[in-house]
């Protein structure tokens, strides 16, 4: 299931990110690609170990920790710190699947990649091409969101970034290990949680039906969660 998560970053934060990124040299994006992915990957990245990468990454992580829709959709156990890429001059990233296990930079800790995330840092009218295309059971989905918004999708999906024919596409990308490994179970919990939130606004927190559904939500979490 794809989820559009709006306003992960404000327009002011996006502008700050862009200004700071212009001050340093980008590197070849193949440095973080797997063996197969490297054959179809043509883009640039901020150096993974640069202090700016760590700084901007922490801003995104802080925002996500307070973003109710993201927390409801991802049910995160842990997040691999965000990285940053840039596409221009006909660069692209052909169809590929993300590595199932990734290491957290600067540590020996490894996470299972359940969800892939892209935060757009360029407005859609700043570039031509560069759509994120995600393939799932229902076909192909083209994604091109406003700067500051994020797309969240299962890491099991084949996906690509189409060639840039003009302009420049800048984004942040990273992965989430969810407490709920199964995408279908995670989506059911998301729908249940959203229904509970709507009922709370209509009926109040102490209404009997709200309490019953909240109890069901937490009991399903107990059944399915992996910690």
Output the six-digit token pair for 137: 């059971």
pLDDT value, residue 34: 61
Q: Are residues 38 and 145 in the same domain?
A: yes
- List the binding residues for 2-oxoglutarate: 169
CB atoms within 10 A of CB 12: 9
**Does residue 98 have a pLDDT over 80?**
yes
Looking at the fold, whether 162 and 213 belong to one and the same domain comes out as: no
Write the DSSP assignment of 171-210 as a string of letters: EEEEEEEES---HHHHHHHHHHHHHHHHHHHHH-TT-HHH
Question: Token digits for 87?
Answer: 């596409």
Kindly tell me if the per-residue pLDDT of 138 is higher than 90.
no
> Are residue 104 and residue 193 in the same domain, yes or no?
no
Q: Which of 162, 178, 194 finishes a domain?
A: 178
The predicted-structure confidence for 153-194, as pLDDT tens digits, reads as follows 999 999 999 999 999 999 999 999 999 999 999 999 999 999
DSSP 78-99: EEPPPEEEEEETT-EEEEE---
> What's the domain range around 205?
183-224
* Residues contributing to the annotated binding site: 96, 98, 159, 169
- One domain, residues 156 and 192: no
Q: Which residues are annotated as a binding site for Fe cation?
A: 96, 98, 159
**Residue 74 vs residues 5, 120, 196, 213: alpha-carbon distances, Å:** 11, 18, 17, 19
Over residues 58-95, the pLDDT tens digits come to 999 999 999 999 999 999 999 999 999 999 999 999 99
pTM here is: 0.94
Mean pLDDT of 183-212: 97
């Amino acid at each position: 299931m794809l989820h559009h998560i709006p306003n992960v970053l404000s327009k002011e934060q996006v502008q700050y990110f862009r200004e700071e990124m212009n001050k340093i040299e980008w590197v070849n994006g193949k440095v973080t690609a797997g063996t197969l992915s490297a054959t179809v990957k043509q883009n640039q990245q901020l150096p993974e170990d640069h202090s700016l990468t760590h700084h901007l990454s922490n801003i995104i992580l802080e925002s996500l920790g307070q973003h109710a829709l993201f927390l409801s959709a991802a049910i995160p156990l842990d997040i691999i710190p965000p990285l940053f890429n840039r596409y221009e001059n006909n660069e692209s990233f052909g169809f590929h699947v993300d590595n199932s296990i990734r290491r957290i930079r600067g540590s020996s800790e490894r996470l299972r990649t359940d969800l892939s995330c892209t935060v757009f840092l360029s407005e859609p009218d700043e570039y031509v091409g560069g759509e994120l295309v995600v393939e799932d059971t229902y076909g192909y989905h083209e994604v091109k969101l406003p700067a500051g918004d994020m797309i969240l999708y299962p890491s099991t999906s084949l996906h690509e970034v189409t060639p840039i024919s003009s302009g420049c596409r800048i984004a942040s990308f990273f992965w989430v290990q969810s407490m709920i490994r199964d995408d279908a179970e995670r989506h059911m919990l998301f729908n249940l949680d959203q229904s509970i939130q709507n009922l709370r606004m209509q009926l109040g927190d102490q209404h009997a039906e709200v309490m019953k559904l909240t109890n069901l939500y937490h009991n399903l979490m107990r059944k399915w969660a992996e910690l």
